[in-house]
Amino acid sequence: MVDNEDADQYQEFGEWFYSVAHGYGGTSRYAWLNRTPAAYARFFTTLKKSGVYELFEIVPKTENASNHALYEIRIDNVPVDSVYLDQNEGSGNWKSITTLSLPKEVPVEVRVIDSGKSTQGAVLRADAVKFLLIREVTDIADETDEQIPETYRLSQNFPNPFNASTTIRFNLPQRERVQLNVYNLLGKHIKTLLDGEAPAGVHRIIWDGRNQSGQTVSSGIYYYSLRTPNFTQMKKMILLK
């Protein structure tokens, strides 16, 4: 839980004011929309456990807030997800922002931003956010059953973010040709991890953060893609140094 009153975990940019209303704690904050520079606030923390979290936000009961507020999630200052929310809908109660995998002992933050795209409302509101642990992750395996899988599956790499190497796990229900590639944010091919026949089963491939030439790549967001004649899927991963 991070509240706007937590001075060591909350920070504002632009001109903000105290509101007479509040949804959590004793106070809440607001900023006028469409000002220069655009206002935003950041709630930041460090989690004790790696796992899948559902993120929530709360603002006071309101009818004059932004209907297109941008909520941006960052891990170690790298944007990993963003969601637009109508702050009036469900106001006064905790409202889900998104669900995603988050690491322990790495700075995580939620930014609420004036997107400049609101079509109603006069203010951007900030009150509190919370991180609800749904499932703790301690290992790459989400399952212990190593029998032949019945369906295709590309799992989230682990750890994620990572700073040296990470493991990518995928399931094949039958033997077939497999391509597993890594791309950067611009879609440029970085590394082929697998290109050939693979038997049915659960497979784990390690990527050491190097490109096809053996050079270490820079920090940032990367994508890994699994492709077979019958299945294609891509997921995002974050390299931090």
**pLDDT per position as a tens digit, 175-231:** 999 999 999 999 999 999 999 988 888 888 999 999 999 999 999 999 999 999 999
pLDDT at 138: 64
Best CA proximity match to 173, nearest among 147, 142, 143, 195: 147
Q: Where does the chain hold its CATH 2.60.120.260 domain(s)?
A: 2-136
Task: Judge whether 61 and 21 are in contact, CB under 8 Å.
Answer: yes
What gap in Å lies between CA 208 and CA 26, rounded to an integer? 48
Contact status, residue 111 vs residue 28, Cβ threshold 8 Å: no
Distance CA 107, CA 92 (A): 27
The tokens 């091919």 sit on which residue? 189
User: At the topology level of CATH, where does 153-239 sit?
Assistant: Immunoglobulin-like (2.60.40)
Q: Quote the tokens at residue 172.
A: 């094949």
End-to-end Cα separation, the chain, in angstroms: 27
The reported pLDDT for the residue numbered 144 is: 41
The mean pLDDT value of the chain amounts to 91
Strands (DSSP E) contained in 77-165 are 78-85, 95-102, 107-113, 123-126, 128-136, 153-154
Indicate the class that CATH gives domain 2-136. Answer: mainly beta
Cβ atoms 74, 109 nearer than 8 A: yes
What is the pLDDT, as a whole number, of residue 35?
96
Cβ 220 vs Cβ 184: under 8 Å: yes
Strand 123-126 relative to strand 29-32, pairing = antiparallel
Model confidence at 137: pLDDT above 80: no
pLDDT band at 142 (very low <50, low <70, confident <90, very high): very low
Q: How far apart are CA 196 and CA 179, in angstroms?
A: 7
For CATH 2.60.40.1930, the residue range(s) in the chain are: 153-239
Q: Can you tell me the mean pLDDT for 48-59?
A: 92
How large is the average pLDDT for residues 113-140? 90
Alpha carbon distances (Å) from 115 to 70, 85, 112, 169, 197: 6, 11, 9, 37, 47
